[in-house]
Every structure is written in C-alpha cells, then in structure tokens.
Amino acid sequence: MAHVRTAGPVLVVVAAIFAIWYVAVIPMNIKDAITQAERAGATVSPEGAQARRDMSAIGLAVRNTAVIPATYALDRPRLPAPHQIAAELWDTTIDKKITSKRSLVFHGWVTLSATLLGFAIGTAAGILLAVGIVHSRAMDMSVMPWAIASQTIPILAIAPMVIVVLNSIGVQGLIPKAIISAYLSFFPVVVGMVKGLRTPDAMQMDLLRTYNANRNQTFWRLRLPASLPFLFASLKIAVAAALVGTIVAELPAGGGRGLGGRMLTGSYYGQMIQIWSALVMAALLAAGLVFLISLIERISLRRLGLAS
Amino acid sequence: MSEANSPVIRAHALDLTFQTADGPVHALKDVNLEIAKGEFVSFIGPSGCGKTTFLRCVAGLEQPTGGTISVNGMTPDEARQARAYGYVFQAAGLYPWRTIGRNISLPLEIMGYSKADQKDRVSRVLDLVELSGFERKYPWQLSGGMQQRASIARALAFDADILLMDEPFGALDEIVRDHLNEQLLALWARTEKTIGFVTHSIPEAVYLSTKIVVMSPRPGRITDVIDSPLPKERPLDIRDSPEFIEIAHRVRDGLRAGHADD
C-alpha cells in the first residue's frame, strides 16, 4: 500500500523534471539549429548569423517555430534532450562490445574498479583511525585535526599532484585513482565511526568495569556493535564520495579511460551527449552502490536484532 | 578465614571529595558501616546524600579520598577484579543487539565460562527472575519491569555473593515495583546473598531491608542505622502492620533530622 501511495508523487516529480528539461532544450539549441537550417537552404528569420547574434533565444524560437523540432536532433547540442542521451547510452552499453574503447560498460568498469578499491582502502583506514582515536587521547588530539584539514583542500588541486608524483615513481592506472578515491571516502567513515564507538554511555562502561572486562572485550562486545548503525550511514556517504574521487582522478590521469576520461574527451570535442551519458552512468553507479550498502545494512542490522 | 558473622563490607571513616569547577563537593564524610553476610541493607536519603556514591565505592567504581573500605576482606578494586559482586543499575542497560539469553551470558563470556556452563547458568537465573521462555526475545520485546528483571538475572549469573543495586526499580510504576520487591525478597531468601540497595522510597526500604541506612546531604553522611525487627517472611500486607509503620516513622524522622541541619 505504501508503495502505491508514494508512486504518484514520485512520478509527478520525475515528469516535471523531464518537462522542464524538454522545454529548456529549445532555447539552449535554437541558435545552432537555425544556423544549420539556414545552411541547408531553409528560410529563417532573421537571416544571417550576424543579425541573430544579439537576439534572445526565446525570441528566435518564437520567430522560427518550424526549426524547433531540429533542436531535439542536433549532432552536437549544447543541451541534449533526454531521448538523445538514452539513445547514446543504449548505443554505448548494449550495442558496443564491452571491450570497445567506446563502450560505457568498459569505462564504467574502469571507474567502478578504482572506486571499489578506493572505498575499501578508505573504509579500512577510516575504521582503523577511528579505533585509534577512541582509544588514545594522543591520537584524538593529533589525527583528528589533520583528517579535517585534509578535507578542506579541494580534491581538484590534490588529484593532479598525486597522479604526477605516483607516475614519476612508476605507479599508474588503478592505484593512483584508488588512492584519491580513498582520500575522499575515509573521512565520513572516521567521523561516523568515532561517533558510533563513543555512543556507549558511562553506565554501559561501568557495567563492563564491574565484570572487570578488558579493552578488547569492551571493544568487540560493546563499542563495535553499538557503532554499526553509524558505520552504515557513513558508508553510504563514503561510497558516493569514492566515486566522485575516482572520476576527478580520471581527469588528469589522461588516456580518456573511465567515466572521468569520457567526460574530459567529451568536453574537448564539444560532445555534450557523451558527457551527459557518462554523467548518467556515474549517477546509476552511485545509486547502485548506495542501494547495495543499504541492503547489507538492512540484513546485518536485522541479524543483530537492531531492526525489526 | 572469615567467620559467618564477620562483616562482608566494612567502611571506616570513609571520605570522598569530588573536585568540581564550583569547588570541592563532599560526597561522603566520615562514613562508618559494617554489613554482615546475608544482610539486606537499604541506603535511603535525598539526592546528593552520597548513597549511590557509597555503593560505587563498594564496587570500586569510585576511589575514596580518605578512610578505608574492604569488601570480602579485600580492597574494592581487588574485589571487583575477583568479581565479588553483581551490580544492577537504575536502567536495565541491556544490549539491544543481543537476545535476553545472550545479554545474561555477557558477563559469563567475559569471565570465560564454558559454553555449556553459560547455557546452564542462563536458564537457571532466568528461572530465578521468572523469565523462563524469554531467552530468545530481544530487549525491546519486553516491558520495563521485565527488562529490569533480566538485568538482575545478568548480575546473578556469575554467582557473586554480593548484589549491589542502585535504584533498580526507580523508573518503574508502583504496581510493577511492588511485584518486583516481592520477587526480590523471595530471590534473596533462596540465594542468601548480601544485598546493598539504594532507594528513594521509604516503604521500599522498610519492606525489603534487614538494615536501613539513612543518609543526608552536604556533606553526604549517615544519620541513622536502623536494624529492622520485621521477620524474614514478609507478605506485601506487612506494610499495614504497626511495626512497619513505626520503622517507616523512624526513617522519616532520620531524613527530616538530616534536613534540619541545613
């Protein structure tokens, strides 16, 4: 029942987004469409690119209604229509062999593999740092400020340096991208995990003291299980951050490989459709990863009796 | 070799001063008390009288700043390491991710009991607090009173001779409380443990105890120690008997005297 009741509003929002998008395509592409129509011999108003230069896009669309259908079918639109992106996605995922350099499945996998490795490194580092921070006051004082500082530096500035430095010592391909991806994803894990490991209150800690429990027992039996809901919330943020990190790292990495590489070559050649389809692919990947973590979260919390 | 009636808990000239931002707070001042084996001792007094602090000193959770205290002839810290007592807090504090049975086996796991032994003990103490059949339930599936009974079972599971209870029924309603008090007395009779029990409630203290320690605040100190003449067998309607009312009066007078000093 709940699904049926929420389906309506969700569909309305999606329909509104597509409607706005389709309307926006007309003014965004009208100048290019008129120029092409004029070259092909059609009559347009006013004639000559010079005369149209300072005119508003909406004004041009109103005066050249016959050209409007062409705004949805340009080879290199400024704003591609959703169906053009869908067609490009179909072409580059279903029709192309996945070994092809033009296959988005190939590029998607390049990005996904670096993202997963980076996410794994980031999560492991985040959990280890959090455990250290919770158990050692010195680490709390010394590591936490650096962790926060690390996130204030724009990743766009860090990524090329890491790529260049690692390249100079002969490390290329997956690893540099994974490191940048880990750099973005460890932080939410540290913050969430520190918070989670610290949730047991004084009474809970006293109870274990009355059993004369050691640190190890306190960690595995109390702190860790208490932190799991926080960990999963952090992991969802971390996996999305890992994907962003990988894509950013793929820009300076060169070679046009991965979704970041597709976006970069797309912008070199004015191929907005290529950029948008890489974006959609990245969004689908992120949604899939977050969904997967939600699933693991639900299963493990239910096993632990923390959710009904 | 401790004789049958040598004290299990002995405090002599016990002082505890907390250093706070607002200056020192005398939580305990010159507290002298002896508790014999098998006694049921209630600590009663207004907030800040040091009753919980005293219990925490017995448990080795607070370090006194003066005087001496011994538990089973050891320092409280040694007694804690020897797992000489079970402690029941005001909140049940069960782990939501563990079933009732696994919550009760928590101290047993930590203390290294064998799996088979854990199983035996869990079912035995569940029976003791009348929660048999709830072993596989999660805490949220139980009422507040049942949760608190489970936490008492957890404190009993490793067979410590001493049971320390810090307002265990403070958050429960009157009817549940009466029932749990009755059960606690039955449990005390069966297990012959020495019980230290902190409470705000005069009827609860009088109904349960063989010895009532009346305390007053600023500084936290003992103003009266009453040995109860009530018999060991105590049906709930003993609370209407003249003896009961007389002791309750004496407790109330002791509490009032503590306040008159202000």
Measured between alpha carbons, how far is A127 from A194 in angstroms, rounded to an integer?
Answer: 8
* Domain B1-84+168-262 indexed as CATH 3.30.70.1400: no
**Rounded to two decimals, what is the model's pTM?**
0.83
- Nearest CB partner across the interface for B97, out of A212, A213, A305: A305
Cβ contacts of B90 on chain A, cutoff 8 Å: 203
Point out which residues pair with B20 in neighbouring strands.
Answer: B23
**Helix or strand run (H / E) with residue B196:** strand B194-199
Chain B closest-CA separation from residue A295 CA (Å): 18
pLDDT tens for A150-200 read: 888 888 888 889 888 998 998 888 899 999 999 999 999 999 999 999 999
ipTM score assigned to the predicted complex: 0.89
CB atoms within 10 A of CB A234: 28
Asked whether residue A2 carries a pLDDT value surpassing 80, the answer given is no
Measured between alpha carbons, how far is B51 from A93 in angstroms, rounded to an integer?
Answer: 73
| CA nearest to B157 within chain A | A211
- Nearest CB partner across the interface for B93, out of A204, A213, A304: A204
- Average pLDDT along chain A: 91
- Nearest CA among A154, A270, A137, A250 for reference residue A194: A137
Cβ contacts of A215 on chain B, cutoff 8 Å: none
The pLDDT value given to residue A1 = 52
Contact status, residue B31 vs residue B222, Cβ threshold 8 Å: yes
What residues have CB less than 8 Å from A76, skipping those under 6 apart?
A32, A270, A271, A272, A273
What residues have CB less than 8 Å from B217, skipping those under 6 apart?
B45, B46, B47, B48, B49, B50, B258
**Helix or strand run (H / E) with residue B197:** strand B194-199
Would you state the structure tokens that stand for residue B147, as one six-digit string?
A: 């949760």
Residues of B with a Cβ under 8 Å from any A Cβ are: 59-61, 80-81, 83, 85-87, 89-91, 93, 95-99, 106-107, 109-111, 138
The pLDDT value given to residue A252 = 82
Query: Exposed e or buried b for every residue in B129-164, given b needs 16+ CB within 10 A?
Result: bebeebbebbbeebeebbbbbbbbbbbbbbebbbbb
Mean pLDDT throughout A229-242?
95
Cβ contacts of A304 on chain B, cutoff 8 Å: 97
Contact status, residue A106 vs residue A283, Cβ threshold 8 Å: no
The pLDDT value given to residue A51 = 85
Cβ contacts of A204 on chain B, cutoff 8 Å: 93
Measured between alpha carbons, how far is B167 from B64 in angstroms, rounded to an integer?
Answer: 21
Asked whether residue A204 carries a pLDDT value surpassing 90, the answer given is yes
The rounded Cα A81 to chain-centroid distance in angstroms is: 21
The pLDDT value given to residue A44 = 85
Cβ contacts of A206 on chain B, cutoff 8 Å: 61, 87, 89
Cβ contacts of A210 on chain B, cutoff 8 Å: 59, 61, 80, 85-87
| Helix, strand, coil in percent for chain A, rounding step 5 | 80, 0, 20
Give span(s): CATH 1.10.3720.10, chain A: 104-303
- Nearest CB partner across the interface for B89, out of A203, A212, A225: A203
| CA nearest to B60 within chain A | A210
Mean pLDDT throughout A231-236?
95
The CATH number of the domain covering residues in A104-303:
1.10.3720.10
pLDDT along chain B (262 residues), means of 10: 68 90 89 92 90 93 92 92 92 92 95 94 91 93 92 92 92 86 90 92 92 91 89 87 92 80 51
| CA nearest to B96 within chain A | A306
